[in-house]
């Protein structure tokens, strides 16, 4: 087991290095001038030159790469060209918001998706099966950004029930002391018992969560369904049925438990896709997470930010996959 | 029934979650909310910031003077009086007494000297506006003297919205430069920076109790500037009364907002204009007749009616309407397809048959609509205009490419003043440059250059003479047609009807001086 | 009749029968069949779009600003955009762009990914390790992110977005095929072919490939939908097609500014994306039912 983890970790590090190399090469291909971006819209030629030296852009490429790696090892992801702030600090500030959104959306998605897949697999080809198949495939087909706009249209513009975006309303932020214990508003407001903030936060969370969760629900439902179908056609299930064991026992105790492997993969994939969806959803709802951060950065080619977020997201994804693999390998039938 | 048990429980949980969240109430406390269309600050360092940050910095810091271009007079802020020597090389400012910085120290001439010198030495942002200054001398605690290398309009320079802020030497000296950039301030302005949350794009301001202007009467004590990049969201925030003031709404929405009883719409001139630059160094646009032909083929009126919905006016020369140095006597090209065809023939392109590349800033709706209209008109002359949207940096890098053949044929961009001076346009956009910077028509005309230099020196002594010189320079430009002056933009502010006291000042683009505003129910 | 032509006749008949069988199975699933019909319909639209479009000049260039932002009417079925262009024509033409773009991306992805996967699985050893490490590197990016980064750095344009998608997508096929190849490689018939001295490439393409192609077909047909979606997402972020190309995602993005005055503007292209992607996904799902022996109905 330990050797498995070590091997995967080493491979992970190698992969991350490859990721860094790829992103670094991509960045150097761009036909734009980072030094000019750094000094902003209306600088003088001398200022641009000075910035070029300051950023180390006049040195040969391999020297730049060396500097970059050295900085990375120290935890320095560079400085955003737009805000002149360290990318690492900005990521730290934004990451909790995205994590909260993704986590809560995934929980909702699992709560809806797994039962949906379950019912679908049980009563195959019934109208429920058709309905849930249509629903889950629809969920993964709908363009997330369009869903976000439509929901905003209905609930904010027309009905006025829900806010247009952000995590908390302005009044709460200005006149209430927002607790900052874990960095997650949901937990913090629960811990301190401040229900006004909790309510406000939930109000702001609903629409983004639905948008991020939609794709995930569909994905999870389909994967659960196919995994369960596969298991239900196994011989031991047939044997259990012929013994007269109640269907419910078979379903929950045997089939569901044995679908741990595919389900874990489903959850991992779900979180990965949810992360992808946040790039689109956070812009529309002004959610202060890393999705909005990188969406803003790609438009103005703020390359340190793009690189920083890419590396960060890739590392998170690799870690997630590693954890998923470890969980799957707990199943004794799986060969390491 | 049992089969669906799980499903029922889950649905119930979700429903209650939803219901709990949606049902609620709200309360009102007094604060001003400015829904800004971009990030309210780029760099908190007052010597460096040269971008949107002025909307925040101008409430926290102050300048010696503030310029009101519509009435062409100076409001005395930190300086109570000033005088110029007859040769225009010495300016003496008398400073206001009893002003305190936010850190408690007193404002005096040392602070002015420190602030100006720091800005010059850091040589970042708009620090070049101080280029004419040779020395800053402290005469006594409340008198400061500027010695210039050559005559220059120093009153305009020190009322600039950029790089002219006065900061507390005590605070600034005791921290590294990065401390300011991170989000701290050391100003004299009516508001303190309460909090800056970059990830949310929010700047929160609270009143500074010891502000020299006092707090009698009606002033907002709390204000928020927030980045709301979605135009639709800004519109709805104003309509629903959740925001107090906003800008940059789609022109198509203005009519309905004007009809809305809860909204006041303020329309006024801005000093921002849109200019189309021809690449005068490359074929075919090095041909003056061709450029003039294209100037006649541009659909000025259509652009103003359809892209701006009438909220703008066709540009007349580089200096925008309302600023000194603008002349209504200047020649103005008009859309005339026949004249365009005539000139095309004379230029040797009777059949058209040209391919031109135009780049504009991707994401900018107004620019895109304008160039699409231009493209359609040129198609009628059998000229193929390729319009390419690029991020600003890429567009600019292309225009400054070392290989001049690679550069685009036409470049479009906005220009706005750092100092309220025609020199800002005439110099930056048309003065000969060895290496292209913002003279993106690559115009090189020595006669023009010498007029600009002359005008600048005159503006420090006699504004009227300078105006005449600048008008001569502009005449040359219009004749040579290295650019098309498309339109002068109008500023449109949408305000909540209870938000009173706001007056637009085009010299400080999009800045809301919250001190003057208050709520009236 | 020579033996060879006889042989081919039988082969063709058999292939046709298999095809009929598949079609029959497909028809059983009404949903999938409906999806197939809609897709064929979309393909036809895409091909004849330039002809049937009511305002061909509105697709790219000519502007008509007097008629801007009109609501749907009999002349302008989907209304007009802010430059007065007919949205119905643009959305219709957009079918062409989306379908073609997605087809190119998937085809190129397959062309790169499948041979690599075959080689990696077949030869094993160092080639396998090398190829799979590269594949891992690419797959360790969260799905949209790599495409975003590549499109951002190459410069926003439709072509670059498609290139970005090809680069992001080929690793999936490689991994899929390689997994299959590794298990099929040990089977009897492959060993037999080896024994009689069949050249490697023949083994790979004539023996192994046909047996592992079904998951790839399923994945590819769903990817046709997935790529339309991702292409639209890239254009929505400003990284894909640029004005005045009538790509669906771009139209939705432009419609955001005018959402209040013209709510219909963004609805139709969004629906178009939804329907196209939905049908491809249903098709893929149906194909999986048909081709995958474990979930067969009998």
Contact criterion met (CB below 8 Å) for A333 and A42: no
ipTM metric: 0.78
Pick the closest to residue A309 from A105, A19, A74, A106 (CA basis): A19
Check residue C276 and give its pLDDT.
92
Tell me the pLDDT band of C73, cut-offs 50, 70 and 90.
confident
Q: Is C244 touching B (CB cutoff 8 A)? A: yes
Q: Is A31 touching B (CB cutoff 8 A)? A: yes
Q: Which residue in A40, A174, A175 is closest to B51 by CB distance?
A: A40
The CA angle B345-B346-B349, to the nearest 5 degrees, is: 40
Check residue C213 and give its pLDDT.
82
Task: Write the DSSP symbol of residue A169.
Answer: -
Q: Which residue in B362, B369, B388 is closest to C83 by CB distance?
A: B369
Q: What is the pLDDT of residues C132-144, one digit of tens each?
A: 888 887 877 776 7
Residue C29 clears pLDDT 60, i.e. is over it: yes
Residue A85 clears pLDDT 50, i.e. is over it: yes
Check residue A32 and give its pLDDT.
60
Check residue C62 and give its pLDDT.
64
Binding partners of A (≥3 Cβ pairs within 8 A): B, C
Distance from CA of C202 to the nearest CA of A (A): 32
CA atoms A271, A275, A277, A283: torsion sign? positive
Pick the closest to residue A32 from B215, B399, C41 (CA basis): B399
Rounded to an integer, the average pLDDT of B508-514 is 90
Q: Is A37 touching B (CB cutoff 8 A)? A: yes
Residue A175 clears pLDDT 80, i.e. is over it: no
Q: What is the pLDDT of residues A240-258, one digit of tens each?
A: 778 877 777 777 777 777 7
Check residue B354 and give its pLDDT.
87
Name the A residues in 232-251 with CB < 8 Å from any B CB.
248
Q: Measured between alpha carbons, how far is A164 from B171 in angstroms, rounded to an integer? A: 40
Check residue A35 and give its pLDDT.
74
Check residue B240 and give its pLDDT.
82
Q: Where would I find the H helices in A30-84?
A: 34-39, 45-54, 61-74
Residue C57 clears pLDDT 80, i.e. is over it: no
Contact B230 A173 (CB under 8 A): no
Binding partners of B (≥3 Cβ pairs within 8 A): A, C
Residue spans of beta strands (DSSP E) within A86-180: none
Contact criterion met (CB below 8 Å) for C146 and C230: no
Check residue B28 and give its pLDDT.
45
Residue B103 clears pLDDT 70, i.e. is over it: yes
Check residue B26 and give its pLDDT.
38
Q: Is B204 touching A (CB cutoff 8 A)? A: yes
Distance from CA of C154 to the nearest CA of B (A): 11
Check residue C298 and give its pLDDT.
39
Q: Is B392 touching C (CB cutoff 8 A)? A: no
CA B460 centroid distance within chain: 23
Q: Which residue in B31, B33, B199 is closest to A93 by CB distance?
A: B199
Q: Which of B13-27, B404-418, B448-462 is the least confident region?
A: B13-27
Q: Is A182 touching C (CB cutoff 8 A)? A: no
For the residues of A193-248, what is the DSSP string, one character each? T-HHHHHHHHHHHHHHHHHHHHHHHHHHHHHHHHHHHHHHTSHHHHHHHHTT--HH
Q: What is the pLDDT of residues C107-126, one digit of tens each?
A: 999 999 988 888 888 887 88
Residue with tokens 């339109």: B487
**Domains of chain C from N-terminus onward:** 33-295 (1.10.3720.10)
Q: What is the pLDDT of residues B357-376, one digit of tens each?
A: 999 988 788 898 899 889 88
Q: What is the pLDDT of residues B313-338, one digit of tens each?
A: 999 999 998 888 898 989 999 999 89
Tell me the pLDDT band of B19, cut-offs 50, 70 and 90.
low
Contact C148 A279 (CB under 8 A): yes
Tell me the pLDDT band of A334, cut-offs 50, 70 and 90.
low
Size of interface B-C (CB pairs under 8 A): 59
Residue C189 clears pLDDT 50, i.e. is over it: yes
Residue B66 clears pLDDT 90, i.e. is over it: yes
Q: Is C237 touching A (CB cutoff 8 A)? A: yes
Chain C residues whose beta carbon lies within 8 Å of the beta carbon of residue B389: 156, 242-243
Average pLDDT across chain A, whole number? 78
Rounded to an integer, the average pLDDT of C62-75 is 77
Write the CB contacts of C11 (distance below 8 Å, at least 6 apart in sequence).
Answer: none
DSSP H or E segment with residue B376: helix B365-380
**Which two tokens mark C276?**
């196209």
Rounded to an integer, the average pLDDT of C250-265 is 83
Residue with tokens 């007079």: B73
CB atoms within 10 A of CB B168: 24
Q: Is A139 touching C (CB cutoff 8 A)? A: no
Contact B393 A36 (CB under 8 A): yes
Check residue B192 and give its pLDDT.
93
pLDDT > 70 in chain B, percent: 95
Q: Which residue in A42, A164, A165 is closest to B126 by CB distance?
A: A42
* Nearest chain C alpha carbon to A21: C137
Q: Measured between alpha carbons, how far is B165 from B59 in angstroms, rounded to an integer? A: 11
Residue B428 clears pLDDT 90, i.e. is over it: no
Rounded to an integer, the average pLDDT of C50-55 is 80
Using DSSP's 3-state secondary structure scheme, residue C43 falls into: helix
Q: Is B131 touching C (CB cutoff 8 A)? A: no
Q: Mutate which of B228, B257, B306, B394 to disrupt the C interface (most C C-beta within 10 Å)? A: B306
Q: Is B438 touching A (CB cutoff 8 A)? A: yes
Q: Which of A161-175, A178-192, B15-29 is the least confident region?
A: B15-29
Contact C136 A138 (CB under 8 A): no
Q: What is the pLDDT of residues B178-202, one digit of tens each?
A: 888 888 989 999 999 988 888 788 8
Residue A1 clears pLDDT 70, i.e. is over it: no
Tell me the pLDDT band of C297, cut-offs 50, 70 and 90.
very low
Q: Measured between alpha carbons, how far is B279 from B440 in angstroms, rounded to an integer? A: 7
Contact C156 B391 (CB under 8 A): yes
Residue B471 clears pLDDT 70, i.e. is over it: yes
| Strand bridging mode B143-148 / B133-140 | antiparallel
Rounded to an integer, the average pLDDT of B85-96 is 90
Q: What is the dihedral of CA B107, B108, B112, B114, to 10 degrees?
A: -90
Contact C252 A143 (CB under 8 A): yes
Check residue A88 and give its pLDDT.
86
Give the gyration radius of chain B's Cα atoms. 26
Q: Which of A69-83, A139-153, A247-261 is the least confident region?
A: A247-261
Tell me the pLDDT band of C296, cut-offs 50, 70 and 90.
very low
Q: Is B241 touching C (CB cutoff 8 A)? A: no
Q: Which of A24-28, B79-83, C175-179 is the least confident region?
A: A24-28
Rounded to an integer, the average pLDDT of B129-143 is 91
For the residues of B11-70, what is the DSSP string, one character each? HHHHHHHHHHHH---------EEEEESS-S-S---TTT--STTHHHHHHH-B-SEEEETT
pLDDT > 90 in chain B, percent: 39
Q: Measured between alpha carbons, how far is B194 from B177 in angstroms, rounded to an integer? A: 20
Residue B3 clears pLDDT 60, i.e. is over it: no
Check residue C2 and give its pLDDT.
66
Q: Mutate which of A162, A164, A196, A309 to disrupt the B interface (most B C-beta within 10 Å)? A: A164
The CA angle C216-C219-C221, to the nearest 5 degrees, is: 105
Rounded to an integer, the average pLDDT of C238-242 is 82
Chain C residues whose beta carbon lies within 8 Å of the beta carbon of residue A309: 145
CB atoms within 10 A of CB A232: 18
Q: Mutate which of B119, B129, B199 to disrupt the A interface (most A C-beta within 10 Å)? A: B199
Choice between B60 and A71, residue whose per-residue pLDDT is larger: B60
* Nearest chain A alpha carbon to B29: A171
Check residue B25 and give its pLDDT.
38
Phi and psi, residue B263, nearest 5°:
-125, 135
Q: What is the pLDDT of residues B37-63, one digit of tens each?
A: 888 888 899 998 888 888 999 999 999
Write the CB contacts of B463 (distance below 8 Å, at least 6 apart in sequence).
Answer: B153, B324
Check residue C292 and give its pLDDT.
66
Q: Tell how many helices (H) and how many strands (E) occur in chain A.
A: 16, 0
Tell me the pLDDT band of C46, cut-offs 50, 70 and 90.
confident
Query: Which range has the top average pLDDT, A29-43, A239-253, C88-102, C139-153?
Result: C88-102
| Strand bridging mode B483-496 / B245-246 | antiparallel
* A46-62 burial: b if 16+ Cβ within 10 Å, else e: ebbebbbeebeeeeeee
**Which two tokens mark B276?**
């189309």
Rounded to an integer, the average pLDDT of B400-424 is 87
Tell me the pLDDT band of B112, cut-offs 50, 70 and 90.
very high
Contact criterion met (CB below 8 Å) for A310 and C141: yes
Check residue A336 and give its pLDDT.
47
Contact B253 C261 (CB under 8 A): yes
Q: Measured between alpha carbons, how far is A261 from A328 in angstroms, rounded to an integer? A: 5
Residue B243 clears pLDDT 50, i.e. is over it: yes
**Which two tokens mark A81?**
């060209």
Pick the closest to residue C146 from A87, A298, A71, A142 (CA basis): A298
Phi and psi, residue C167, nearest 5°:
-65, -35
**Which two tokens mark B250?**
């789609």
Contact B394 C69 (CB under 8 A): no
Choice between A237 and B237, residue whose per-residue pLDDT is larger: B237
Phi and psi, residue A90, nearest 5°:
-65, -40
Q: What is the pLDDT of residues B438-466, one digit of tens each?
A: 899 999 999 999 999 999 888 888 888 99
* Secondary structure (H, E, C), B154-174: HHHHCCCCCCCCECCHHHHHC
Name the A residues in 21-60 with CB < 8 Å from any C CB.
22-23, 26-27, 29-31
Contact C137 A157 (CB under 8 A): no
Chain B residues whose beta carbon lies within 8 Å of the beta carbon of residue C257: 231-232, 250, 365
Tell me the pLDDT band of C70, cut-offs 50, 70 and 90.
confident
């Amino acid at each position: 087991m330990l050797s498995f983890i070590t091997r995967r970790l080493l491979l992970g590090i190698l992969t991350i290095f490859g990721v860094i190399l790829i992103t670094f090469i991509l960045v150097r291909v761009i036909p734009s001038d980072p030094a000019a971006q750094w000094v902003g819209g209306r600088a003088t030629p001398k200022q641009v030159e000075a910035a070029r030296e300051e950023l180390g852009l006049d040195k040969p490429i391999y020297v730049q790469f060396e500097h970059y790696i050295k900085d990375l090892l120290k935890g320095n992801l560079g400085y955003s060209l737009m805000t002149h702030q360290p990318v690492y600090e900005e990521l730290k500030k934004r990451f909790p918001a995205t994590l909260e959104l993704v986590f809560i959306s995934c929980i909702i998605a699992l709560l809806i998706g797994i039962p949906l897949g379950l019912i679908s697999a049980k009563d195959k080809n019934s109208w429920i099966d058709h309905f849930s198949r249509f629903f889950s495939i629809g969920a993964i087909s709908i363009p997330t950004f369009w869903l976000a706009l439509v929901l905003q249209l209905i609930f904010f513009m027309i009905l006025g029930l829900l806010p247009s975006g952000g995590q908390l309303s302005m009044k709460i932020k200005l006149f209430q002391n927002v607790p900052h214990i874990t960095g997650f508003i949901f937990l913090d407001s629960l811990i301190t018992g401040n229900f006004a903030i909790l309510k406000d936060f939930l109000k702001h969370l609903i629409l983004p969560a639905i948008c991020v969760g939609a794709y995930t629900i569909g994905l999870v439902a389909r994967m659960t369904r196919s995994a369960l179908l596969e298991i239900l056609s196994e011989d031991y299930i047939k044997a259990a049925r012929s013994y007269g064991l109640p269907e419910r026992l078979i379903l929950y105790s045997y089939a569901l438990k044995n679908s741990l492997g595919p389900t874990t993969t489903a959850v991992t994939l779900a979180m990965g896709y949810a992360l992808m969806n946040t790039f689109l959803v956070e812009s529309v709802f002004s959610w202060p997470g890393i999705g909005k951060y990188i969406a803003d950065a790609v438009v103005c080619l703020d390359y340190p930010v793009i690189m920083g977020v890419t590396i960060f997201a890739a590392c998170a994804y690799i870690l997630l996959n590693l954890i998923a693999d470890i969980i799957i390998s707990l199943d004794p039938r799986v060969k390491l | 029934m049992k089969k669906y048990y799980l499903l029922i429980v889950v649905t119930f949980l979700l429903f209650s979650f939803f219901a709990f969240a949606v049902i609620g109430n709200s309360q009102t406390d007094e604060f001003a909310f400015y829904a800004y269309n971009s990030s309210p600050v780029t760099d908190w360092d007052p010597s460096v910031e040269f971008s949107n940050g002025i909307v925040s910095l101008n409430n926290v810091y102050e300048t010696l003077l503030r310029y009101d271009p519509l009435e062409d007079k100076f409001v005395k802020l930190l300086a109570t009086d000033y005088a110029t020597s007859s040769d225009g090389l010495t300016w003496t400012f008398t400073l206001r007494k009893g002003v305190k910085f936010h850190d408690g120290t007193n404002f005096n001439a040392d602070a002015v000297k420190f602030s100006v010198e720091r800005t010059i030495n850091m040589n970042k942002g708009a620090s070049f506006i101080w280029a004419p200054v040779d020395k800053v001398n402290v005469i006594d605690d409340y008198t400061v003297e500027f010695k210039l290398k050559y005559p220059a309009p120093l009153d305009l320079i020190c009322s600039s919205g950029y790089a002219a802020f006065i900061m507390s030497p005590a605070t600034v000296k005791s921290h590294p430069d990065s401390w300011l950039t991170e989000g701290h301030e050391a100003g004299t302005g009516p508001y303190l920076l309460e909090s800056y949350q970059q990830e949310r794009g929010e700047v929160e301001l609270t009143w500074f109790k010891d502000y020299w202007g006092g707090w009698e009467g009606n002033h907002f004590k709390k204000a928020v500037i927030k980045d709301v990049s979605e135009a639709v969201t800004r519109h709805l925030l104003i309509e629903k009364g959740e925001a107090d003031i906003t800008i940059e709404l789609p022109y198509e929405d203005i009519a309905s907002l004007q009809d809305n009883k809860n909204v006041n719409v303020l329309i006024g001139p801005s000093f921002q204009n849109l200019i189309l630059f021809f690449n005068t160094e490359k074929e075919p646009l090095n041909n003056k007749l061709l450029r003039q032909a294209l100037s006649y083929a541009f659909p000025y009126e259509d652009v103003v009616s359809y892209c701006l919905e009438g909220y703008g006016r066709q540009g007349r020369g580089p200096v925008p309407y309302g600023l000194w140095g603008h002349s209504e006597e200047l020649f103005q090209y008009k859309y005339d397809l026949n004249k365009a065809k005539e000139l095309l023939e004379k230029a040797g392109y009777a059949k058209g048959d040209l391919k031109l590349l135009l780049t504009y800033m991707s994401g900018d709706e107004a620019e895109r609509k304008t160039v699409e209209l231009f493209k359609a008109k040129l198609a009628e002359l059998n000229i193929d205009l390729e319009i390419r949207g690029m991020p600003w940096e890429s567009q600019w890098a292309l225009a400054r490419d070392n290989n001049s053949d690679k550069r685009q044929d036409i470049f479009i961009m906005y220009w706005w003043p750092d100092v309220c001076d025609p020199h800002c346009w005439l110099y930056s956009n048309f003065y000969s440059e060895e290496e292209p910077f913002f003279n993106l028509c690559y115009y090189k005309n020595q006669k023009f250059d010498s007029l600009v230099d002359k005008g600048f020196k005159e503006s420090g002594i006699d504004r009227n003479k300078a105006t005449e010189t600048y008008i001569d320079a502009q005449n040359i430009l219009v004749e040579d047609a290295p650019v098309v002056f498309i339109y002068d933009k109008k500023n449109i502010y949408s305000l909540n009807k209870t938000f009173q006291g706001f007056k637009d000042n085009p010299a400080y683009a999009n800045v809301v001086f919250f001190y003057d505003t208050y709520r009236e129910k | 009749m020579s033996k060879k032509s006889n042989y081919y006749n039988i082969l063709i008949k058999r292939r046709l029968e298999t095809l009929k069988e598949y079609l029959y199975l497909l028809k059983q699933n009404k949903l999938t069949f409906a999806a197939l019909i809609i897709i064929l319909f979309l393909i036809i639209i895409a091909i004849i779009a330039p002809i049937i479009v009511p305002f061909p000049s509105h697709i790219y260039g000519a502007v008509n600003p007097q008629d801007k932002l009109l609501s749907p009417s009999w002349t302008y079925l989907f209304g007009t955009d802010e430059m007065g262009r007919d949205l119905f024509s643009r959305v219709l033409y957009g079918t062409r762009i989306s379908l073609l773009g997605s087809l190119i991306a998937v085809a190129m992805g397959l062309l790169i990914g499948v041979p690599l996967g075959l080689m990696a699985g077949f030869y094993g050893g160092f080639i396998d390790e090398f190829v799979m490490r590269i594949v891992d590197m690419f797959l360790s990016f969260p799905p949209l992110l790599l495409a975003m980064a590549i499109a951002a750095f190459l410069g926003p344009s439709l072509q670059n977005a498609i290139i970005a998608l090809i680069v992001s997508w080929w690793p999936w096929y490689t991994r899929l095929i390689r997994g299959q190849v590794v298990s099929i490689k040990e089977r009897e018939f492959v060993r037999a072919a080896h024994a009689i001295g069949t050249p490697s490439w023949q083994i790979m393409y004539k023996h192994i490939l046909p047996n592992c192609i079904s998951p790839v077909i399923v994945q590819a047909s769903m990817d046709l939908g997935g790529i339309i979606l991702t292409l639209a997402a890239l254009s929505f972020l400003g990284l894909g097609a640029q004005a005045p190309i009538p790509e669906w995602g771009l139209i939705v993005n432009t419609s955001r500014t005018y959402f209040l005055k013209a709510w219909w503007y963004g609805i139709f292209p969004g629906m178009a994306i939804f329907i196209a992607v939905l049908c491809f996904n249903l098709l893929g799902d149906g194909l999986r039912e048909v081709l995958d022996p474990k979930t067969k109905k009998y």
